[in-house]
Homo-oligomer: A and B are copies of this chain.
Amino acid sequence: MPAAKARSAAYHHGNLRDTLIALASARIAEAGVADFTLRELAAEAGVTHVATYRHFSSREALLAAIAADGYRKLQVLEAAAQDALGADHWARLLVLPETYLRFMLDMPGHFHIMFAHRWSDDAIYDEAVAAQAESFALLERSVADCQAAGLLPAGGASRLIAAMLGVTHGLASLWLSGQLDIVMPPRRRADRFIIETLKASFEAFRVSDPDLWRNK
């Protein structure tokens, strides 16, 4: 009975949760987090705004879901990129910021919630926090591998990791907020420029004096 099925599809959306996450991310990428409203979002999904509360306990919980979703997706991308590289530890380390950047370019809405939006300390962000920690562990392990292989200054890695995380995240978010335009040479592709800058930075860190990174 196709008529019944059509009506059913109309009433029960089928995959409202994922649809809402995707739509919200797109809106955030376009107009920022302040702009989007649950009602407009629900309307776009063909549903009443109250239906959203079946899947997210609040507007902020939807944002938290986007953050968790983003970290999981990022982690999958990072792991896949590393797996394709075998045992070249330095290449495996370098691919992390590159993946991070591609993720930012591909999913700016997710990225914004993950890094520029202030998470409430509510429990709704617990999942996101856990996913974030796992993603960070990947970097930590990669740096340790490089140190063990003599590819990076040995000793406490905190400052080295902080510097790598810093330059990666800094370039990504400066670009996302449009503040890299002033620096970037005209007519260059942004992604290439950023990735080359990143690689240069990592290389500078790699060959630097190990004493630089020791805690004083």
Binding site for B on A (CB under 8 A): 32-34, 60, 112, 115-120, 132-133, 136, 156, 158-159, 161-163, 165-171, 173-174, 177, 179-180, 182-185, 188, 193-194, 196-197, 200-201, 203-205, 207-209, 212-213, 215-216
Contacts and interface: CB of A to CB of B under 8 A. Distances in A.
Q: How many copies does the complex hold?
A: 2
Contacts of A33: 34, 118
A156 B179 CA distance: 19
Contact of A167 (B173, B201, B209): B201
Contacts of A216: 196
Interface centre among A171, A201, A208 (most CB of B within 10 A): A201
Contacts of A156: 185
A173 B200 CA distance: 22
Nearest to A115: B177
A146 B215 CA distance: 27
A166 B183 CA distance: 11
